[in-house]
A and B are shown apart, each in its own frame.
Chain A
Amino acid sequence: MTSHPTHEPGSVGAVTPRTAHFDRPLTFRSGAVLDAYDLVYETYGTLNERRSNAVLVCHALNASHHVAGYHADNPKNVGWWDNVIGPGKPLDTNRFFVVGVNNLGGCHGSTGPSSPNPATGKPYGADFPVVTVEDWVEAQARLADHLGIERFAAVMGGSLGGMQALQWTISHPGRIRHALVIAAAPKLTAQNIAFNEVARQAIITDPDFHGGHYYEHGVKPKRGLRVARMIGHITYLSDDVMATRFGRALRSGDYNFGFDVEFEIESYLRYQGEKFAGYFDANTYLLITRALDYFDPAKDFDGDLNRALATAEAGFLVVSFSSDWRFAPERSRAIVEALLHNDHDVTYAEISASAGHDSFLMDDAHYHAVVRAYLSKIDLG
């Protein structure tokens, strides 16, 4: 096979998602029970004989199990963290066995709101249980069982993915040796929840939403999803990066005195919204933003994050980005402080970066050097 010109050396190449089916009921934190479910995942690299080199990569809001490489039927569909994962990359697939999984409630193949509800034969829609980060971690642990992985060398993720890595150290301290918690927070602030709520309201008030059962009506609440994505996107970028990339540039060079797209930033946001509404499921968006809102591992410990992390056994790498105002560096420092309180092994890097929250997806030399150095020190013995 000739390699596709857009894939530089270091790609894991063409990858194929797989599906694991689970028959053992999963009880959610809410009390809801899912009797059976599928998880779609991808793996890269080879699990060593001792099964000690597995790294789980957790995704954030809009991503999936497709973390690295590309799909043979669509070479342009490159994994969302391809700049970090591959042979010779910071998460080196020559050394590690990497697992990417689409979380429950997702819309990339794992059981979610658009899957058929066995009780009705129709899509779950609004009846899909509200899922939490803890529930995702339980499902991921079952996938690890399925793959024969007793203990991960590392669990890593950015943003909501970082929260899952953090939750792993609390839910399964003995099954994770290292947690890479990147651009994350120990819980959302009121401002963060507020952004999520505006996004949800945009979806819920779309006339095509039909109380979450839009599948049966053959429509999608695309207008709501577009607005939700536009709001989200604003919060993932920094003011600086928007100013640099778009400024006040006008599409036609002058004012047209109307409400069509005038400024380049409007065009960009509309494009992002349109693209997103084309592939993402509205119910999944509601579920994932709610999982973000609910995440608060200290809640079960009277709000004391120190106590929540007391039983963690993992070593930690915590990374934040200077221009990230969605999950600002001080939120990461709160995690670091709780880890220091407990005398856990922790390294913290605060990367100077201009791209805002999305910096964790960017190809930044210092950031990648930190991740590479940390992962390469992990002892697989």
Chain B
Amino acid sequence: MTIPETNNGSAAIPLSGRHDFEAIARWVKPGTRVLDLGCGDGSLLKHLTEIRGVRGYGVDIDVENIVACIGNGVNVIQGDLESGLSGFEDGSFDYVILSQTLQAMKHTEGIVREMLRVGREGIVSFPNFGFWRHRIQILLGHMPVTKNLPYQWFDTPNVHLCTIDDFEAFCAQHGVRILQRMVMSNGDAVSRLPNLLGTLAVYRIESRR
């Protein structure tokens, strides 16, 4: 399987320090309907609304984020992603985004299935556990702590970390087709040895129906 790489050669402009936001903004077509899961303060949706004119809704569990989203003028639904997306109709969004949240979910299979039920396409980003610095720290006998994985083993919210290869194997096993991939390191696109050199991976996926 060949996966189209997105590499326009230019350094991504960091938005709130989130390098994946620019990749996502490039992929989302103007005027589409977007659901952002784990939307935080709504800055991605606000950005997408401003530059792509999307019709967006966020989902977040934290009431402080609900208040922040309102302040950002973003529609937001308070809810727990772990219990699924039962309030959302099949195929009711063009894109369902899960930005750096997959690794913190308990029900990984469930949320990916739900994303692709509700959205025609899913956009997923996650920190690449296979990044070489992570590997070295493990070889030296420690759980990795880096800029991209800033937590200690005992206080990390990340319960399901994976490598790029792991995620692609997961997709193959779960009927998920990868439409596009962007691997980054500190905001720069990585095309060579992505599973070793990439810190962050962003995928556009759909259900293999």
B is a partner of A: yes
Chain A residues engaging chain B, CB cutoff 8 angstroms: 317, 333, 336-337, 340-341, 343, 345-352, 366, 369-370, 373-374, 377
Q: A337-B87, A340-B57 are in contact. Are A347 and B73 (CB under 8 A)?
A: no
- A25→B92 CA distance, assembly (Å): 45
Assess the B77–A336 pair: CB atoms within 8 A.
yes
Q: Does B7 contact A (CB under 8 A)?
A: no
Question: Across the interface, which residues of B come within 8 angstroms of A352, CB to CB?
Answer: 63
Assess the B70–A374 pair: CB atoms within 8 A.
yes
- A377→B67 CA distance, assembly (Å): 11
Q: Does B79 contact A (CB under 8 A)?
A: yes
Nearest CB in chain B: distance from A241 CB, A: 20
Known: A340-B57, A346-B57, A369-B63. 8 other contacts (CB 8 A): A337-B87, A337-B89, A340-B88, A347-B70, A366-B64, A370-B67, A373-B71, A377-B71
The closest CB in chain B to the CB of A379 belongs to B73
The closest CB in chain A to the CB of B71 belongs to A373
Report which of A341, A347, A377 forms a contact with B76, defined as CB distance below 8 A: A347
Question: Across the interface, which residues of B come within 8 angstroms of A370, CB to CB?
Answer: 63, 66-67, 70
Interface size class of B (residues with CB under 8 A): 20 to 34
Q: A341-B89, A370-B66, A377-B70 are in contact. Are A346 and B77 (CB under 8 A)?
A: yes
Assess the A349–B57 pair: CB atoms within 8 A.
no
> What are 28 A-to-B residue pairs whose CB atoms are below 8 Å?
A336-B87, A337-B89, A340-B57, A340-B92, A341-B89, A343-B55, A345-B75, A346-B75, A347-B70, A347-B77, A348-B76, A348-B78, A348-B79, A349-B63, A349-B66, A349-B78, A350-B79, A366-B63, A366-B64, A366-B67, A369-B63, A369-B67, A370-B66, A370-B67, A370-B70, A373-B67, A373-B70, A377-B70
- A369→B79 CA distance, assembly (Å): 18
Question: Across the interface, which residues of A come within 8 angstroms of B97, CB to CB?
Answer: none
Nearest CB in chain A: distance from B59 CB, A: 9
